[in-house]
Amino acid sequence: MGYICTPEIDNLKPVTILAIESSCDETSASVCVDGKILSNFIANQKVHEQYGGVVPELASRAHMQNIVPVADAAIKQAGIDLAHIDAIAFTQAPGLIGSLLVGAQFAKSLALALNKPLIAVHHMQAHVLANLINEQDKPDFPFLCLTVSGGHTQIVLANSPLDLKVIGETIDDAAGEAFDKTAKLLGLPYPGGPLIDKYAKEGNPQAFKFAEPQIPGLNFSFSGLKTSVLYFLQKQNTEFVQQHLQDLCASVQHTIIQILLKKLKKAVKETGVKNVCIAGGVSANSGLRNALTETGKNLGWRTFIPKFEYCTDNAAMIAITAHYKFLNQEFSTLDISPTARAEW
């Protein structure tokens, strides 16, 4: 099946893109005009809190309920109508397959109805390019990006918007998973990662020592840290955890951040690139944001941190990525399928 249409690029005409993000449990839509974000509407799903994690079937159903009103809200917030849209973008991979299907089918249907090109976007590539949204303070190429989320931990070398190379990644668990699993062990409700960050602000990061894996190269590992925390807590009672909750959170968070920054320092040394960014859901963690800024000052890096709303899953990052793909005329056919796991 061919393209819906292949537009001629007119450098004098502003390019308007409607982007859809539905990889997990946030339904989001964004409108981007010439790389400037005009709207970024996000609908969260509260239904998962009672289950202690995202339930894929419930997430898919919630996306089906939210997708039309969310897209409509983003279009209205941007002050445009359907006639202004030049392309439709969507998250193609990775993510929960049912959630991805909702966004993909909506994007395909709208692109077909409007006879507009379709742009498929890789979710992790979009997280990296979220650093390009802020026009006033964005990194020059090349730059390094530490991308940290619930499912991924990567160091990416960005040579251009569409030339991204993963030079380090987790060999087992992601940093975000380490936060959430530790929070569960501590008896904190879902989502636990932000609560660890909250309690850590009042705790002593040196109070307890946990294992830091010694993995060669630029790859990460967090399974040993989770096991270290588990074995430590098994030796304590509930009263101990309650009395030392802030110190425990601070110590766990400090350990995770040190693991991340040690690899990032190594990547800077090996590549010589001193423009350094973070991205992904865990980049909203205040401890990590502060640690990156302080490390950058001490080592002479130029550091960049996306606004909070562009750290967690959102359609603005899909839109900015689609903007560059549009300029490079990287369009997708209608027979493209979403994929739960996909290499770059």
pLDDT in tens, 106-139: 999 999 999 999 999 999 999 999 999 987 889 9
Cα torsion angle, 161, 162, 167, 170, sign: positive
pLDDT(1) > 60? no
| pLDDT 10s digits, 23-69 | 999 999 999 999 999 999 999 887 777 777 889 899 999 999 999 99
| 342 occurs within a structural domain | no
Q: Supply the range of the domain harboring residue 157.
A: 138-305
- Once rounded to an integer, what is the mean pLDDT over residues 308-335? 97
| pLDDT 10s digits, 35-45 | 999 999 999 88
The confidence band for 99, taking pLDDT boundaries of 50, 70 and 90, is very high
CA distances in angstroms from 18 to 13, 80, 142, listed in the order given: 16, 10, 28
202 plus 281 within the same structural domain = yes
Helix or strand or coil: residue 107? helix
Q: Which token pair is 63?
A: 């996306």
Instruction: Write out the DSSP string of 189-229.
Output: PSS-HHHHHHHHTTS-TTSS-------STT-B--HHHHHHH
pLDDT of amino acid 151: 86
pLDDT(310) > 80? yes
229 plus 301 within the same structural domain = yes
Q: Answer whether 10's CB lies under 8 Å from 34's CB.
A: no
pLDDT of amino acid 59: 92
pLDDT of amino acid 34: 96
| pLDDT 10s digits, 256-306 | 999 999 999 999 999 999 999 999 999 999 999 999 999 999 999 999 999
159 plus 68 within the same structural domain = no
| 154 occurs within a structural domain | yes
CATH of the domain at 88: 3.30.420.40
| 214 occurs within a structural domain | yes
pLDDT(166) > 60? yes
d(CA 149, CA 26): 14
64 plus 170 within the same structural domain = no
| 147 occurs within a structural domain | yes
pTM over 0.75: yes
Q: How many domains does the chain have?
A: 2
The confidence band for 143, taking pLDDT boundaries of 50, 70 and 90, is very high
Query: What percentage of the chain exceeds 70 in pLDDT?
Result: 97
| 3 occurs within a structural domain | no
pLDDT(71) > 60? yes
| 280 occurs within a structural domain | yes
pLDDT(12) > 90? no
263 plus 323 within the same structural domain = no
Q: Answer whether 260's CB lies under 8 Å from 146's CB.
A: yes
Total length of the chain: 344
pLDDT of amino acid 246: 98
pLDDT of amino acid 70: 98
d(CA 284, CA 337): 30
317 plus 298 within the same structural domain = no
The confidence band for 242, taking pLDDT boundaries of 50, 70 and 90, is very high
192 plus 280 within the same structural domain = yes
pLDDT of amino acid 4: 66
CA distances in angstroms from 33 to 46, 107, 241, listed in the order given: 31, 18, 50
| 5 occurs within a structural domain | no
71 plus 218 within the same structural domain = no
290 plus 190 within the same structural domain = yes
38 plus 77 within the same structural domain = yes
The C-alpha angle with vertex 149 and arms to 306 and 67, in degrees rounded to 5, equals 80
pLDDT of amino acid 44: 83
70 plus 142 within the same structural domain = no
| 204 occurs within a structural domain | yes
20 plus 161 within the same structural domain = no
